[in-house]
Structure 1
Amino acid sequence: MLCTLSHFLKRFRDDTKGTVAVEAAIVLPMLFWAFMAMAVFFDMYQTRSTSEKAAFTVSDLLSRETAAVDQDYLDNALGLFKSISTLDSVSSLRVSVVSYSDIDDEYFLDWSHGTGLDDGLDDLGLQNMTGHLPVLVNGERLIVVQTFGKYDPPIDVGLGTIDVDTFVFSRPRFAPQLAWSS
């Protein structure tokens, strides 16, 4: 009996009929997942790119402004961001004007307001972002535009929801600073 079992196992090991079907059954689901994941990754990076371009557009719009801006202006800027960006989720926008003092070697918050789901920046938040700000000369001001949104992939490939946040800064172009009107 042991001899026949051994003979059966050797014959089973050497038999190659049906291996293509077994390999296809193993590989095709992984290949299909990889194809779908590539499409989702491409869409995610495209969404990230359009969100950054939309944030740069809003930042450029604000840097050219010579009059004071108000909450309605920021709401409309968020509408512009949403129309340019390909994010499907609810987005929010935060605009802050930051100045620098070389006497204190410190950044100061002139004003900050948000729209959408976000509030303005506080002093603690400014201190946390100083590593991302460029070196400024004394008294120079900087307009910081931050956008916040989420990318929800159309097909679940194991990523879940991805945060798509942007951080863009620019200097005022035609006025010494961007003023806030309440």
Structure 2
Amino acid sequence: MMTQYRSLEMSIRRWWRREDGSLTLEFLIYAPLMFFTFLGTLAFFDAFRAESINEKAAMTIADMLSRETGYINDTYVDGTYGLLQFLTRGDATPDMRISVVRFEEKMKGANTTSKDRYRLVWSEARGSGVHVAMTDEEAMTMLPKLPTMTQDERLIVVETWSNYKTFFNLGFNIAWNTTGNDASEAKPPENILLSSLIFVAPRVGLAQTCFNNTTVEANRIC
């Protein structure tokens, strides 16, 4: 009996120490995992690349506006929108909104109910029409997104939105928490809305923050 137990024990040890065999089972287990890992890495890299391009395009436009020494008009805004389309490329009809806002400090005194806020100077929007020009009421809600400044200081605010279509539906719309420009409109699950908000102070003077479609000085909006 002891001989049988010893023989069984030796057989188990030999089987445990064996290094020959087939990796078919291990391959079947790990191959799908490796495939989806590489696939997800590629898809996430391309999504973040598109987001970076969208952000840099908005920064380029904001910097260009901050260096402008003349008045802004419809032709200038149209050309700026064409630049956005050229830089992003992934979306044929991205949305763009350029706004100039002015900071108002709260009034001093115990009997006042005023508070720090931004006032709209002018705003222009281009694109699909989903995003329209900023209103004064919307400008008043921008303080959490914009820095606190001194009285009457101005900011040029550039906002962009573009749809990015992923190669594979890996739940990116959940990660970015959106599926398109309009939440009420059904969008493919692989669509991601990439948005950016860039603000910059004028570098030259008041003229670059004014909007004027004519040559008449009195028609400027500052």
Q: Smaller-chain TM-score range?
A: 0.7 to 0.9
Deviations 1:119-162 (A, max 9, x none): 11123322333201011110101000000011111233332222
Structure 1 unmatched ranges of 5 or more = 1-13
Q: Do the aligned partners of residues 18 and 165 (structure 1) sit closer, same or farther apart at CA in structure 2, a change above 3 Å counting?
A: farther
- Partner of residue 66 from structure 2, selected from 63, 68, 72: 63
Which residue pairs with 1:162 in the alignment? 192
Q: Do the aligned partners of residues 28 and 141 (structure 1) sit closer, same or farther apart at CA in structure 2, a change above 3 Å counting?
A: same
The answer to whether structure 1 residue 180 and structure 2 residue 211 are counterparts is yes
- Partner of residue 108 from structure 1, selected from 109, 119, 134: 119
Q: Which has the higher helix share?
A: 1
Residue identity opposite 1:109 in structure 2: L
Aligned partners of 2:92 and 2:167: how far apart in 1? 12
- Partner of residue 139 from structure 1, selected from 152, 155, 172: 152
* TM-score using structure 2 length: 0.68
Q: Do the aligned partners of residues 77 and 150 (structure 1) sit closer, same or farther apart at CA in structure 2, a change above 3 Å counting?
A: same
The more displaced of 123-132 and 140-149 is 123-132
Equivalent residues of 2:72, 2:212 under 8 A apart: yes
Aligned partners of 1:75 and 1:93: how far apart in 2? 10
User: Which stretches of structure 1, 4 residues or more, deviate above 6 A after TM superposition?
Assistant: none
- Partner of residue 40 from structure 1, selected from 26, 39, 43: 43
The answer to whether structure 1 residue 20 and structure 2 residue 51 are counterparts is no
The answer to whether structure 1 residue 120 and structure 2 residue 133 are counterparts is yes
Equivalent residues of 2:98, 2:125 under 8 A apart: yes
Report how far residue 86 of structure 1 moved: 4.8
Equivalent residues of 2:118, 2:142 under 8 A apart: no
Q: Do the aligned partners of residues 165 and 26 (structure 1) sit closer, same or farther apart at CA in structure 2, a change above 3 Å counting?
A: same
Equivalent residues of 1:89, 1:152 under 8 A apart: no
Residue identity opposite 1:179 in structure 2: C
Q: Do the aligned partners of residues 100 and 158 (structure 1) sit closer, same or farther apart at CA in structure 2, a change above 3 Å counting?
A: closer
Aligned partners of 1:28 and 1:125: how far apart in 2? 52
* TM-score using structure 1 length: 0.82
Larger Rg: 2
